Amino acid sequence: MLEIKNVTKKFGELTAVNNLSFTVEKGQVFGIAGPNGAGKSTLYNLITGLYPFEGSIKFEGKEIRGFPSHKIAKLGIARTFQIPQTFPSLTVKKSIAIGNYFGSDAEFDPAYVDEILKFVNLYDKQDEKTGQLKLLDKKMLMIAAALGTRPKILMLDEPMAGSNSKEILSLMELIKRINQDMGITIIIIEHFMKVLTELTSKLLIIETGTEICCGDPNDVTSDSRVIECYLGDGHD
């Protein structure tokens, strides 16, 4: 469904993403992990057209390199951000409507917006301005607005960051429902290995923009290169 091939991104002398290649299959929950500064969010920015890059990214067999972000959204790739992004000037409902109106080729559907509001448990807060929301609700809203675009792939950037254990459980449940009930392919960047091993069917570990290993989450997390990358080479 999504094919990343020899993708490289340099910021001057710094190589943020280095010759990275991997494939995400339809219906999969694909995990990406790595230390801070590994290039995970940069990779999202490349896939969603925010930065130019070298290499190739194909979505459903179509090359999307050079496409602007809004066109990529319309193709069916939606994302969230590590630092919650909302529209403080707009209400919760309008924020989701933005995704449905602009990000989907289908006609704007207020009933679908209501459905999404209920799906993420924000129906009672639909008229609130988004700036007033709590952190968890902001994250839910970001996911809801992305779902508003009727995406085929949803890319989540550290959705659990700053959440307590109860919130992590509810977010994990939501991600499972998005994948299973809505049939949306998920790519998730996360630091919590427990979340990744439970949710994902394939896990990619990167460090300084380079692939360390990629495969079954249980195998990957016990790989000595991954342990070394997280804990250093002096661990027991």
Strand 62-63 relative to strand 54-59, pairing: antiparallel
Complete edge-to-edge strand list for the sheet that includes strand 29-33:
77-79, 153-157, 185-189, 29-33, 202-207, 210-215
Triad 190, 196, 202: Cα angle to 5°: 110
Residues 6+ apart with CB under 8 A from 194: none
142 touching other proteins, by CB under 8 A: yes
Lookup: tokens for 29 = 């929950």
Tell whether residue 214 is a contact of other proteins (CB under 8 A). no
Q: Is residue 212 at the binding interface for other proteins, with CB under 8 A as the rule?
A: no
Interatomic CA distance for residues 211 and 209, integer angstroms:
7
Q: Which is nearer to other proteins, 134 or 194 (CB)?
A: 134
Task: Note whether 125 binds other proteins by CB under 8 A.
Answer: no
The residue among 89 and 224 lying less far from other proteins, judged by its C-beta, is 89
- Exposed / middle / buried, residue 223 (Cβ in 10 Å: 0-12, 13-18, 19+): middle
Binding mask 36-75 for other proteins (x = CB under 8 A): ------------x-x-----------------xxx-xxx-
Per-residue binder mask for other proteins (CB under 8 A), 80-109, x = binder: -x---xxxxxx--xxx-xxx-xxxx---x-
C-alpha closest to that of 43 among 158, 143, 189, 226: 189
Contact 53, 129 (CB under 8 A): no
228's tokens: 């070394």
Quote the tokens at residue 133. 């929301």
Q: Which of 127, 181, 233, 236 binds other proteins (CB under 8 A)?
A: 127
| Residue 213 within binding range of other proteins, rule CB under 8 A | no
Structure tokens at 77: 């790739």
Residue 1 is a binding residue for other proteins (CB under 8 A)? no
By rule CB under 8 A, what count of residues binds other proteins? Answer: 37
Closer residue to other proteins (CB): 56 or 126? 126
- Residue closer to other proteins (CB basis): 18 or 126: 126
Q: Of 150-179, which residues contact other proteins (CB under 8 A)?
A: none
Nearer to other proteins, 103 or 217 (CB): 103
Which residues bind to other proteins, rule: CB under 8 A? 48, 50, 68-70, 72-74, 78-79, 81, 85-90, 93-95, 97-99, 101-104, 108, 110, 113, 126-127, 142, 145-146, 148-149
